[in-house]
Amino acid sequence: MTQLSLLNISGKEAVRQRLQALRRDLNLHAHRYYVLDAPILADAEYDRMFQELVALEQQHPELISPDSPSQRVGGSPLAQFETVAHTVPMLSLENAFGGDDLVDFEERLFRFLQSRTQISYMTEPKLDGLAVELVYEDGLFALGSTRGDGLVGENITLNLKTIPTIPLRLRTRDGEAAPGRLEVRGEVFIGLADFKKLNEERGKAGEPLFANPRNGAAGSLRQLDPKITATRPLDFYVYGVSDPTSLPCRNQHELLNYLGSLGFKVNPLVHLCRDISEVISRFTRLQDQRSALAYDIDGMVVKVNDFALQERLGAKARSPRWAIAAKFPASQATTRLMAVEFGVGRTGAITPVAILEPVRIGGVTVSRATLHNEDELRRKGLMLGDTVLVQRAGDVIPEVVKPVVETRTGRELPITMPTICPECGEPLIRAGQEAITRCPNPNCPAQRVRGLIHFTGKSGMDIEGLGKKAVEQLVSQGLIQDIPDIYQLELETLAALGGWGDKSAENVVRAIQASRTPPLARFLAALGIRHVGEVTAQLLAHHFGSLARLSLAGETDFLHIEGIGEQMATSLVDYFQDPTVQEMLGRLQALGVRVQEEKPDTGAGGALADSVFLFTGGLSRLSRHEAKSRIKELGGQVASGINRKVTHVVLGDNPGSKLTKARELGLTVITEDEFLRLIGR
């Protein structure tokens, strides 16, 4: 409708019609953009229409309708989630682990049906996200809930509304009515690229990282404030309905097409198979495709296609007889431990790294794996030449699980820990209760390089183009030795380096230039002061407001801050009193680096004030006791058992049943490394 014709229709009616047209067009374009991935409208034009809609709705709030695209981000925070009983239970699936299990599955179907008729199947990638139910009433999205225990879930309607691939109104052909009530089911997930970006942003903001996309999706859906959920890159694939009987579909294949026509996103890899052998080849194929997919899948769901057959087969207590989840093999493999190298970290910590005979695990070749620390190495009882079990979980660094002692030949050799630093030769020390052996030499070249890599890296100043490789190159060429040297690098020098060109040199110089006015918290975190992670850096920045005030503070000043313990206070005072540090800060100042001041904030609780931690399994770098007192220092709490108040489950070695329970509840599970970062270790 044009502005001109608006003039012909009186006031409010004109606005109503215009709003209706805007909503229809915006929903249509959003569907093309998000669901079909085939936009036909420029982003700027979409934004313009959206702004017009919002402006009109502000003037006429009584005309806002629940399917208006503006309603995706609205919503005020909830005090708690209400429960929702599912009208039809949300069942789970039995597992199959390969072709033989799938053949057995079909045999069971034959036995149950008492005939060996040919059965066709739908195969669907099994997304590793969270199952949800969406209820549409007369075509409008009315209620959305989690699976919960299958019978009762939580009402997360407002959060689900923020997901652009969930239609607020079902699309129907002209004149066709939407079903009176439709209960749609599917999986909410976060794609791998989005997940990586989300975690990077969280790292920068000093927020805890999600262990994997599934936890990211779970954590985002469990937000009481839908505005937070709206910032998370959630996505949705539909895979079924609670009850297909009243729908114009005779089988799963037709149902998925129908759901697609209603505006839902259907996974493009779903496939109709004529028989079980075709199912098995799809399974192999999907496994090959897995590592190239933009999202995590952990298997393939196989469903009897025909609804009449599904009906006859029915369900057992927890799972339908007509479907099964064919799971991919766990990401574990055995290989040989050829050597153990000892790396020197930024803080001088000596970390043993296993050098392995290269082996493919879950589509990736693994030749190195972490052994964490000396205690861990001893606990596992590894020997050189051992056959070892190695595992990879998602994006996590591969690790050695255990030696396969049964295959020992007697020729294996013990692993000896170094007594001097492999990089600088300084005798190593292991202080008191610490699980970590360290090189105490602050001028150790390895520590310097790591310190510089940390400074320029993502948890530091985030200087683009100065990643690990570039820093190593600059150090080995003698171009930088310490932080101020970075600010003396010249364009010509960089452009002349092997592998660099004018363009990359220019970009790096520009990035360095842009980092000359860092916010205080970022700068502090970048310095890599022992025990001062991103959270503590923020705490200090809020409290002191300027680098000058901070560097003059004494131990008691630090101890007065909630969240700063003795160890940190000592470390901070030692750091800022060190003449080489003073000199370095002076040089940075002279080179034009101006750390931004922050408004000091004196009130407020600790940095972990809203966090409740639960531990499962053993920690390798500090005792539970240390971990707990650190959390308390930072204002957080520690739970003794699983409950919904828990915000972080810390995953140690050999986790117990709490882990399974935590996963079921969709709680955020973090690794020990992530935990250490949070508490500033």
CB of 236 to ligand IVH, least distance (A): 11
Q: What is the CA radius of gyration of the chain?
A: 29
92 binds ligand IVH (CB under 6 A): yes
- Helix (H) / strand (E) element for 552: namely helix 547-552
627 binds ligand IVH (CB under 6 A): no
Residue with smaller CB distance to ligand IVH, 184 or 539: 184
Q: What is the DSSP letter of 104?
A: H
295 binds ligand IVH (CB under 6 A): no
Active site residue 126: yes
Residue with smaller CB distance to ligand IVH, 301 or 529: 301
Tell me the window of 86-94, 538-546, 549-557, 593-601 that interacts with ligand IVH (CB under 6 A): 86-94
CB of 131 to ligand IVH, least distance (A): 3
Reference 355, options 339, 342, 332; nearest CA is 339
Reference 451, options 265, 587, 581; nearest CA is 581
Among 131, 218, 230, 344, binds ligand IVH (CB under 6 A): 131
Contacts for 475 with CB less than 8 Å, ≥ 6 apart: 445, 448, 449, 452, 481
CB of 287 to ligand IVH, least distance (A): 16
Spell out, one character per residue from 221 to 250, where the chain touches ligand IVH: x when CB under 6 A holds, - when not: ------------------xx----------
Residue with smaller CB distance to ligand IVH, 106 or 674: 106
Spatial distance between the Cα atoms of 30 and 226, rounded to a whole number of angstroms: 20
Q: Which letter, b or e, does each residue of 593-619 get, where b requires 16 or more Cβ atoms within 10 Å of its Cβ?
A: bebeebeeeeeeebbbeebbbbbbbeb
304 binds ligand IVH (CB under 6 A): no
- Please check whether residue 259 is in contact with residue 184, taking contact to mean a CB–CB distance below 8 angstroms: yes
Residue with smaller CB distance to ligand IVH, 126 or 450: 126
187 binds ligand IVH (CB under 6 A): yes
- Please check whether residue 166 is in contact with residue 136, taking contact to mean a CB–CB distance below 8 angstroms: no
Extended beta strands in 54-169, E state: 83-85, 95-96, 121-127, 130-137, 140-146, 152-154
φ, ψ (nearest 5 deg) of residue 589: -60, -45
- Please check whether residue 272 is in contact with residue 122, taking contact to mean a CB–CB distance below 8 angstroms: yes
Diameter over CA atoms, the chain: 95
Site for ligand IVH in 143-162 (CB under 6 A): 147
93 binds ligand IVH (CB under 6 A): yes
CB of 310 to ligand IVH, least distance (A): 9
Residue 669: CB atoms within 10 A of its CB come to 24
Residue with smaller CB distance to ligand IVH, 148 or 518: 148
Tell me the window of 42-50, 319-327, 463-471, 571-579 that interacts with ligand IVH (CB under 6 A): 319-327
Among 18, 29, 126, 681, binds ligand IVH (CB under 6 A): 126
CB of 301 to ligand IVH, least distance (A): 4
Q: Which residue is nearest to ligand IVH (CB)?
A: 131
Q: Which structure tokens are listed for 578?
A: 């060190």
Residue with smaller CB distance to ligand IVH, 240 or 398: 240
3-state secondary structure 611-644: CEEEEECECCCCCHHHHHHHHHHCCCEECCCCCC
Reference 250, options 134, 120, 137, 124; nearest CA is 120
Which listed residue (126, 161, 303, 380) is catalytic?
126
CB of 637 to ligand IVH, least distance (A): 30
96 binds ligand IVH (CB under 6 A): no
- Catalytic residue numbers read 126
Give contact residues for ligand IVH (rule: CB under 6 A).
Answer: 91-93, 124, 126-127, 131, 147, 187, 239-240, 301, 320, 323, 325
